[in-house]
Amino acid sequence: MPPPEPALGTTALLLIAVAAVAVLLVLIMKFRVHAFVALVLVSLLTALATRIPVGDVVSTLLSGFGSTLASVALLVGLGAMIGKLLEVTGGAQVLADTLINRFGERRAPLALGVASLLFGFPIFFDAGFVVFLPIIFSVARRFGGSVLTYALPAAGAFAVMHAFVPPHPGPVGAGEILGADIGLLVLVGLVVGLPTWYVAAYLYGKWAGQRFSVPVPSSVAGSPVADHDGVGTGGGVATAVGRKAPPRFSTVLLLLLLPLVLILLNTGFTTLATAGAVDEEAGWLQWVTLLGQTPVALLITVLVAMVVLARERFSRAETETLLNDSLGPVCAIILITGAGGMFGGVLRASGIGTALADSLESIGLPVIVAAFVIATCLRVAQGSATVALLTTAGLIAPAVESADLSRLDVSLVVIAIACGATVLSHVNDSGFWLVGRFLEMDVKTTLRTWTVMETLIGVVGFAIAALLSLVV
């Protein structure tokens, strides 16, 4: 059912939108209000300010919150479980060591980056980077040179996967708000993310390693880390020692590729069915489609990981504890993502989104460009990539709907938002301090290396996404 006619005019609605974003930024930046609480409060105030009927306010809030969480909680939770099992069984070490041995000394930065891309599919930026730090430092000591030569390709890989590819909460939340096909979004995120990483993280990392001589830190000890979006995990990454040898490289690779293959089969056969190449009513196609749905693909991967990784290394009770522990750090991000969906729901129900869509149409600004610009402004202002992603998606959703974009174009808009939410990481972003602190760089050097790399990731990724939107 379409939303009712807004009670206010376009100008008033746009002014309320600007005020809502400003209040959100002030609450998070000045008063240090938790992003979840700030988003819920601003959503409520925006609903009241735009004269949504009082009796409909709570249902509007809950509708946006619940619809976003419906898939976000599943994808993020299952992805965290996969990452945890790979982490505690030594899968990350096996992955990195094998690739470094196969790539050779000269390509060690490339090997670390590829390993980080694979491991970064199910695991968050902060956890993945901290798990890989001892590996990065060991390789840097072994082969010599600036630690940036090895650290930036790995950190950039985790940053790209965190921003561009589900099951990470930012792209999942933005994708749900915009109505994107999550399976297709995984593939588009990889298509855009891989060349972006190669140019903006790997090649830049090699150059920065020659330009900035940063020695291997004397100690990797540090205080509890926060995730890339400013949500603390409450401690470093937990480690556990299995009772058997680490898993084989082939086992780790199988577990990381299994959900991608299932999702690819689903997307590919669905496209063929839409084109009439296969029978949409065929029973086998229904099963392939079901198994390739992103939540089901991740669930299958968790079950396989429990069998091949945990069964011989941990008791059932220990496995249960490990999986339970994996959910703790992601709960705050899941709630923030749901609150972002709540804010987006209010923006749509109030007519603000439609007013913004009309304004963009009147000035002729393409939706994909507007998405990138808005996300960039929000990212620079308050630091959190997740808040920038979700707020921008809520603002831009009616414009996406009215533009009648294809499934591919909607996914590209999500990527454009992710690119804007990545650029110009600076002192208000916890990722800035995480990388700078663990590599023992001063603020100036961190700005000249990490900030530049993050900006390159956003700009290069957006250029690729914009080009694809024009030619595909």
pLDDT digits (tens, 9 = 90+) for 74-104: 887 888 888 888 888 888 788 888 888 888 8
Confidence at residue 230, expressed as pLDDT on a 0 to 100 scale: 42
Neighbour-count burial for 370-387, b at 16+ CB within 10 Å, e otherwise = bbbebbbebbbbbbbbbb
Stronger pLDDT, 110 or 360, i.e. the higher one = 110
Quick check: is 423 in a domain?
A: yes
Q: Per mean pLDDT, which of 220-224, 349-353, 366-370, 413-417 is the most reliable?
A: 413-417
SS (H, E, C) 142-168: HHCCCCHHHHHHHHHHHHHHHHHCCCC
Give the HSE-up count for residue 215: Cα atoms under 13 Å, Cβ half-sphere: 3
What's the alpha-carbon Rg for the chain, to the nearest Å? 22
Confidence at residue 426, expressed as pLDDT on a 0 to 100 scale: 83
Confidence at residue 409, expressed as pLDDT on a 0 to 100 scale: 95
Looking at the predicted structure, is the pLDDT value of residue 237 above 70?
Answer: no
Confidence at residue 219, expressed as pLDDT on a 0 to 100 scale: 55
Confidence at residue 25, expressed as pLDDT on a 0 to 100 scale: 78
Looking at the predicted structure, is the pLDDT value of residue 105 above 80?
Answer: no
For range 206-214, the mean pLDDT: 92
In a 10 Å sphere around its CB, with 0-12 CB exposed, 13-18 middle and 19+ buried, how is residue 170 labelled? Answer: buried
Quick check: is 1 in a domain?
A: no
Quick check: is 2 in a domain?
A: no
Task: Count CB neighbours of 184 within 10 A.
Answer: 20
Rounded to whole angstroms, the Cα distance separating 355 from 388 reads 20
Confidence at residue 427, expressed as pLDDT on a 0 to 100 scale: 74
Helices (H) and strands (E) in the chain, counts: 21, 0
Contact between residue 241 and residue 231 where contact means Cβ atoms under 8 Å apart: no
Task: Count CB neighbours of 343 within 10 A.
Answer: 31
Kindly write down the DSSP assignment for every residue of 342-365, as one continuous string. Answer: HHHHHHHHHTHHHHHHHHHHHHT-
Among 99-113, 135-149, 268-282, the minimum mean pLDDT is found in 268-282
Confidence at residue 220, expressed as pLDDT on a 0 to 100 scale: 45
How high is the mean pLDDT of the chain? 84
Quick check: is 100 in a domain?
A: yes
**What torsion, rounded to 10 degrees, do the Cα atoms 429, 431, 436, 442 define?**
-10
Residue 170 structural domain: 10-471
Residues whose CB falls within 8 Å of the CB of residue 470, separated by 6 or more in sequence, listed in order: none
Looking at the predicted structure, is the pLDDT value of residue 233 above 60?
Answer: no
Number of independent structural domains in the chain? 1
Indicate the pLDDT class of residue 355, thresholds 50, 70 and 90: confident
Contact between residue 135 and residue 93 where contact means Cβ atoms under 8 Å apart: yes
- The proportion of the chain whose per-residue pLDDT surpasses 90, expressed as a percent, equals 32
pLDDT digits (tens, 9 = 90+) for 162-190: 999 988 888 999 999 999 998 899 999 99
pLDDT digits (tens, 9 = 90+) for 362-414: 777 889 999 999 999 888 877 778 888 988 998 898 888 888 889 999 999 99
pLDDT digits (tens, 9 = 90+) for 29-60: 788 888 889 889 999 999 999 999 999 999 99
pLDDT digits (tens, 9 = 90+) for 240-262: 444 578 889 899 889 888 988 88
Amino acid in position 223: S
Closest CA relative to residue 394, chosen from 408, 419, 375: 375
